[in-house]
Amino acid sequence: MSYFLIVVIVLVALLLISSVRVLNEYERAVMFTLGRFTGIRGPGLILLWPLIQRMNKVDLRVIVLNVPKQDIITHDNVSVKVNAVVYFRIVDPSKAIIQVANAWDATSQVAQTTLRSVLGQHEMDDLLSQRDKLNADIQRILDESTEAWGIKVANVELKDVDLDESMVRAMARQAEAERNRRAKVINAEGERQAAQTLVEAAQALAQQPSAMQLRYLQTLADISHDKSQLIIFPLPLDLIGPLLNRGGTPPRS
């Protein structure tokens, strides 16, 4: 009789131990009683009815999901491989357990198809220059797709964009051609501005003959600093014209 009592006590103790659960602050328990959903518990100490209740533990922390590289054909028919990182968390544990069999795998598959769908609608230049906009578009679509599973997609980041060697060389030639074009445009714009400035200066000097004379004298002063021993310079008639008029017309021979 005492042996039977000891066995009963041990079995009861094992049942009590198996019915005790401790959940961390970031964990929740989705409870099922005889197969029916009966609520969410946690964190802390939880007691389960043996053989009657069971629970599914859910982690509420942010999950980092690496989306493997996807072969994508862009809108301008360029073949690239792109991978991404998705940050999401479970906000409704009951939906994450009841509505979907595996929230991680489901989110990963939706992220892969969404990545191919969204990037395939844009050109190659957009993948390189408009990443923030593409990240926001993918995040919005993923968030709408996973809302029914109790999942909130916080952020999406495109990581690497791999190109073929031929495409890399073609882009390098395109960038070089673009730099040459900009250099020529800047040079032409500088020539135009210089020509316009010269025209304005010529018009200003033409309106004031005395200004032309002052400019001529300034040029002579600049030449005088030259180390050359022989200096040849023209003598404009408009500079000596007033002197000739004052002295009168020389007699003809």
Distance CA 108, CA 142 (A): 10
What would the DSSP string read from start to end of 114-182?
HHHHHHTTS-HHHHHH-HHHHHHHHHHHHHHHHGGGTEEEEEEEEEEEE--HHHHHHHHHHHHHHHHHH
Class of domain 63-163: alpha beta
Indicate the SS3 state at residue 188: helix
Domain boundaries, the chain: 15-59, 63-163
Which tokens is 16 given?
A: 């009590």
pLDDT at 175: 73
pLDDT at 231: 59
pLDDT at 99: 92
Q: What is the pTM of this model?
A: 0.63
pLDDT at 236: 59
pLDDT at 109: 93
Distance CA 84, CA 135 (A): 9
Indicate the SS3 state at residue 6: helix
Q: Hey, which residues does 70 pair with through a beta bridge? A: 82
Mean pLDDT per block of 10 residues along the chain (253 residues) reads 74 76 91 92 86 90 92 85 93 93 92 92 85 92 93 92 70 74 87 84 70 66 63 57 53 47
Distance CA 199, CA 193 (A): 10
pLDDT at 253: 44
